[in-house]
Chains A and B, each alone.
Chain A
Amino acid sequence: GAVVSQHPSRVICKSGTSVKIECRSLDFQATTMFWYRQFPKQSLMLMATSNEGSKATYEQGVEKDKFLINHASLTLSTLTVTSAHPEDSSFYICSAIRTGEKLFFGSGTQLSVL
């Protein structure tokens, strides 16, 4: 079956640094990938939709300069949390859609900003 790989699974960083999270579709081409954020015991919150070769579409309230998304190829999208602060600590999950079918998720990245 389709697999989406997300890396790293856990990252701890100091306040003010930037963190990059990678999301790869391993056995299919994903023209669209999604980035979500999840707070403890809450459902997923869509942050942005990433389309290969074009600018990401951000949800209302999500700072595009804070959360940089690059979908450079059909198998890779990256989310960079710039100048991270403690309030950015959260669980970030990516997903990719295979044309017309299921949504596949990465394993998530737990970001802790000290």
Chain B
Amino acid sequence: KQEVTQIPAALSVPEGENLVLNCSFTDSAIYNLQWFRQDPGKGLTSLLLIQSSQREQTSGRLNASLDKSSGRSTLYIAASQPGDSATYLCAVRDYGQNFVFGPGTRLSVLP
């Protein structure tokens, strides 16, 4: 059974810092991995999608990497801003349509 963990559970950084969020999964047979952002009381916004054949994806200040063999993905946020404060979740999808979410990392970027 696939299990997804995220480290750290919470992170507080000053504005302008570069930071890395980690996502680990136990079964490397994944179809893709997706990173989401969730603001309090809101739905999820998709940030980046990495297919199993890809190593990384970039969007603006965000870069996500995938290492299937080690069961890891990282989300790198460059030059963090207070507006980046949110909970970040990763989710892995298997070759069916089964998604498993991590518990999330709560990020606070202090002005």
Contact = CB atoms under 8 A, between A and B. Distances in A.
A32 B42 contact: no
Interface stretch (A66-74, A78-86, A103-111): A103-111
Interface string A7-43: 0000000000000000000000000101000000111
B45 interface: yes
| SS of A interface (majority) | strand
A108 B89 contact: no
A6 B49 contact: no
Interface residues of B, number: 19
A107 B41 CA distance: 9
A105 B45 contact: yes
A48 interface: no
A103 B99 contact: yes
Interface residues of A, number: 22
A49 interface: yes
Interface string A95-106: 101000111111
B25 interface: no
A93 B43 contact: yes
Given A103-B34, A105-B36, A46 B99 contact: yes
Given A49-B97, A106-B43, A108-B42, 18 more contacts: A6-B43, A34-B99, A42-B103, A43-B89, A43-B102, A43-B103, A44-B44, A44-B89, A91-B41, A93-B44, A95-B44, A102-B34, A102-B46, A103-B46, A103-B91, A103-B99, A105-B43, A105-B45
